[in-house]
Structure 1
């Protein structure tokens, strides 16, 4: 990986989730507009894929940290959060 690519990847990985989502939405809007030259569209698509993977990874990491407080037999206990219908 070239030095500038490595630097860009590091900057991307340090983006807060909300900023990464905002940038992803901007990329999608530009691509949906359809007025982007082909070469630029390919670059935007690649950036969008990187942002999408980054957001997915951050969500998975955060989901594993979320716990629920559940009352069982009159006592409050912590349990890992598991969204309804995810098969777990």
Structure 2
């Protein structure tokens, strides 16, 4: 597998694509053991990076701008449902990581 750029310099979508490639390679089982271990390590780094990005996005989405233009946290009681995700999960009751 080609050497990757730091996950911090790649877009979220590119990191997801790279992770999917790694998963596909490992699922096929036709990669030598040492390369499988290296790909697994790379995949775990990507997972950690993606989780951090999702957590940051979740925190950003959990803020609103008040009338004076100041950011404030949304109280749990103030959150509204923005519809269902994956057909059954209410976005107010799920963490971002649970949605994917």
Same fold by TM-score, threshold 0.5 exceeded?
yes
What is the CA–CA distance in structure 2 between the aligned matches of 1:28 and 1:18, rounded to whole Å? 15
TM-score, L = length of structure 2: 0.60
1:41 aligned to 2:56? no
In structure 2, list runs of 5 or more residues that go unmatched. Answer: 65-71, 81-90, 96-100
User: Cα RMSD (Å) of the superposition?
Assistant: 2.7
Task: Give structure 1 stretches of 5+ with no counterpart.
Answer: 1-7, 70-77
Q: Which structure has greater helix proportion?
A: 1
Which is greater in Rg?
Answer: 1
State the TM-score, normalizing by the size of structure 1: 0.67
Shift of 1:84: 2.3
> What's 2:92 paired with?
84
Moved over 6 A (4+): none
Equivalent residue, structure 2, for 1:63: 58
- Residue 23 in structure 1 maps to residue 24 in structure 2: no
Structure 1 partner of 2:9: 14
